[in-house]
Amino acid sequence: MPSPRVWFVTGSSTGFGRTLTELALSKGDRVVATLRKPHVLDELVKQYEGKDQLLVLKLDVTKRDEVESTFKTAFEKWGRIDIVFSNAGWGIIGEIESTSEKAARDQMEANFWGAAWVAIEAIKYFRDFNKPVGGKLMHMSSMFGIDVSPGAGYYCATKFASEAMIEAINREVDPSWNIKVTILCPGWFRTPMVMANPVVEPAHPAYAANPNLPSMLVRQVFGPMQTGESPLLGDPKKLIQKFWDLSLLEEMPLHVPFGEDARACFERRYKELKADFEATERYSQNLTFDSKA
């Protein structure tokens, strides 16, 4: 890839998106920082004024036409897009029964459909416009895109769905297009998504009646996270440095857990699937269609 590289970052107002934007700029790369409220980055714009490194654009990823026009503007600015960091999204804490349909649907619009529109444009620009062809798609998922958490079922569903979509893209692209894909699966980190931005639905009475149910225990653990007091929260600046290191690799792994909690989710899911696979072989035998029967 050329130097400086051009990043396209979604959800750059706070958290991982903001921290990565600042790191990339400090390293001398160029960043197209997209967010719903561009004024949030006014101070950063002043800091890099005259350096031809930062372009801030308004973007709501749930609106496909905005995604398309923002990519077009970004490409016109610097003539290529090298890395897309697809990061916009938000979470809900609540049992499946306690989560409103509107909240669940709105979350799917951002976390799945928004990610889909960004990924589609990324592939198009990497293949059809970049010279030489190629680019890297870094998709922000979660440890809960691998292993489901009680009390966050709809959030997990959006992450499972978006991971499936990104995995399909990874299998569909022609190797000659030189497109690299990686799915980032962090555990709990000290960011506004955890501390300020999540929607916490009131507990369903049937679950609230038993504080030892898994979803209620998750609620108890999540409380200290919102105040930033939980020892479970990792350092986002250290995590972003790991993202940066990944971006420098010629070949990136498809799934990457970040944090011991994320690694535990990967291991638990692997063991569960392996156990089911080994225990159910007989249910897959003798199922061939017999036209003479």
Q: What is the pLDDT of residues 102-141, one digit of tens each?
A: 999 999 999 999 999 999 999 999 999 999 999 999 999 9
- Segments of the chain with pLDDT less than 50: 195
What is the C-alpha to C-alpha distance for residues 127 and 240, in angstroms, rounded to an integer? 27
Identify whether 2 is preceded by a cis peptide bond (ω within 30 of 0). Answer: no
Q: What is the pLDDT of residue 193?
A: 58
With respect to residue 289, please indicate whether it lies within any of the assigned structural domains.
Answer: no
Task: Give 71's Cβ-side CA count (13 Å radius).
Answer: 25
With respect to residue 143, please indicate whether it lies within any of the assigned structural domains.
Answer: yes
Q: Residue 151: name the closest of 69, 238, 50, 219 by CA.
A: 219
With respect to residue 170, please indicate whether it lies within any of the assigned structural domains.
Answer: yes
Q: What is the pLDDT of residue 200?
A: 87
Residues 6+ apart with CB under 8 A from 84: 7, 8, 118, 119, 122, 135, 136, 137, 138
Which residues are registered as beta bridge partners of 84?
8, 137
Strand, coil or helix: 121: helix
Q: Residue 186: name the closest of 15, 8, 29, 4 by CA.
A: 15
With respect to residue 291, please indicate whether it lies within any of the assigned structural domains.
Answer: no
Strand, coil or helix: 142: coil
- Residue 262's region, left for phi above 0, alpha for psi from -120 to 50, else beta, is alpha
With respect to residue 158, please indicate whether it lies within any of the assigned structural domains.
Answer: yes
What is the C-alpha to C-alpha distance for residues 86 and 169, in angstroms, rounded to an integer? 14
Strand, coil or helix: 37: coil
What is the C-alpha to C-alpha distance for residues 225 and 205, in angstroms, rounded to an integer? 23
Domain extent for 49: 6-280
Strand, coil or helix: 184: strand
Name the residue type at position 232: L
Q: How many CB atoms lie within 10 A of CB 185?
A: 25
Q: What is the pLDDT of residue 209?
A: 96
Q: What is the pLDDT of residue 76?
A: 98
What is the C-alpha to C-alpha distance for residues 150 and 133, in angstroms, rounded to an integer? 42
Q: What is the pLDDT of residue 197?
A: 64
Look up the CATH number of the domain holding residue 169.
3.40.50.720
With respect to residue 293, please indicate whether it lies within any of the assigned structural domains.
Answer: no
With respect to residue 292, please indicate whether it lies within any of the assigned structural domains.
Answer: no
With respect to residue 184, please indicate whether it lies within any of the assigned structural domains.
Answer: yes
Number of folded domains that form the chain: 1
Name the residue type at position 222: F
> b or e along 227-262 (b: 16 or more beta carbons within 10 Å of the residue's beta carbon)?
eeebebbbebeebbeebeebbeeeebeeebbbbebb
